[in-house]
Chains A and B, each alone.
Chain A
């Protein structure tokens, strides 16, 4: 047995060795190249500064808005909406997904409607929602919640339906009671699918929120860009593009980190 112990992969390090690891600098190179090309395009006068502000100009706008606190206010407002709206949508989505996964009756009754609504771009609901909810906070929270709801419900449904029947047999053989079955088998078995759903719906909710703010809002990163456009402050618009992209990137990375931490038991 001692000889076998040698090829037992140490927990945490499992599988990591096979992946090609790009040094962190490597990912920065294309970004720097893009910024340089952008800067050169501006310096050569290929585009007039009213249309394309150089990266240096965007950087200056970012610094100014940070110093005045304007950027923080917009980002803060957007993240607040994301947090609240996402929490509502994700919880509702999980509950709905669980119900249609566990009840054949609910599935038969609700899934056609669900699947139809799921095909509608969330933005298409905006005009109607503005009429019902106005353009205040409830409207934006509702948009975010709807955006998070669908992928979350779908992921939860797939997660629960994907639990192998075999595992329920094992639970039956060991006489697990329903609460034990739920806590020890059903929940852990659906965690990977639900976490993937959370990541997908979180980034989706962010994109939809920024878009909704572009259309109708009095604050937030999207509204900041829209105001910049109206005032021909292209540097502000581009600063908004960069900040929303960065936030989306960080949300995805954060969710992936949580995902990999929570499912370390999976084969790498």
Chain B
């Protein structure tokens, strides 16, 4: 069952772009205690239209910063960030984001929360209610239109946040650890939902996560990042059609590879990973 509106194709073609993200020579520094600190170091990445890209990496590798730059909440960077050729200078309704915390407004019903996203779109008023209803159906929340966020479970609230992000039909959807706050079971469930939604929607998606399994299950490609400063360490192609089977041997093999890379990486980089110095080792 795909509850997605049929008019999708027409509306997409009416838009100028298809959702191609190009990141080139991207650098980002923060000033911490008066010292400039490099957060992102020379990031180069092209996300194809309609592709699902996952980004994994240890905390502090700048992956959330990267998303904030792409969505336009942070605009101080050097290098190039372009969506369909257009340089990213601020936020835009062409770029949606789902945060780790759902960030629904507690005084608005689910319906009102989603409709808020349409406030400054050129969607005719008369059609808004229908579009909101379609997206509530898309994330399987029919029947909860009038519910307030505190009446929803964590998984439901996060799906509502996904619906809000999708309702403007962004060319690019960014997901910043969207399932990070969910319990393990809900997480698996929402992962499958997210895959189904992406297949119905086919807009470009970039998801940041610290869960390698999740990254592989959803991503066409998995970008592995290393910290201090944040760099792209490796790009893994996941050559499996969607919908995927979690038990696929390929996914498991890739997971082992990436985990090995992430954990060994610390040693190779020197200081970062060696939090514990074993005296016996140093003595030799």
Contacts and interface: CB of A to CB of B under 8 A. Distances in A.
Interface string A234-268: 00000000000000000000000000000101110
Nearest to A9: B151
Given A166-B99, A173-B73, A176-B120, A185 B106 contact: no
A175 B92 contact: yes
A121 to B, nearest CB: 36
Nearest to B152: A8
Interface residues of B, number: 30
Contact of A188 (B105, B142, B150, B151): B105
Nearest to B146: A11
A172 B73 contact: yes
B247 to A, nearest CB: 26
Contacts of A188: 105, 107-108
Interface in B140-157: 140, 142-144, 146-148, 150-151, 153, 156
A184 interface: yes
A111 interface: no
Contact of A166 (B103, B146, B151): B103
A147 B108 CA distance: 34
A175 B97 CA distance: 13
Given A166-B101, A174-B93, A1 B142 contact: yes
Given A265-B107, A265-B148, A173 B91 contact: yes
B178 interface: no
A268 to B, nearest CB: 9
B119 interface: yes
Contacts of A1: 140, 142-143
Contacts of B148: 11, 265
Q: Which 7 A-B pairs have the closest CB atoms?
A: A267-B150, A265-B107, A188-B107, A265-B148, A175-B120, A174-B117, A170-B103
Given A180-B119, A189-B105, A265-B106, 6 more contacts: A1-B140, A4-B156, A167-B105, A173-B97, A175-B92, A191-B107
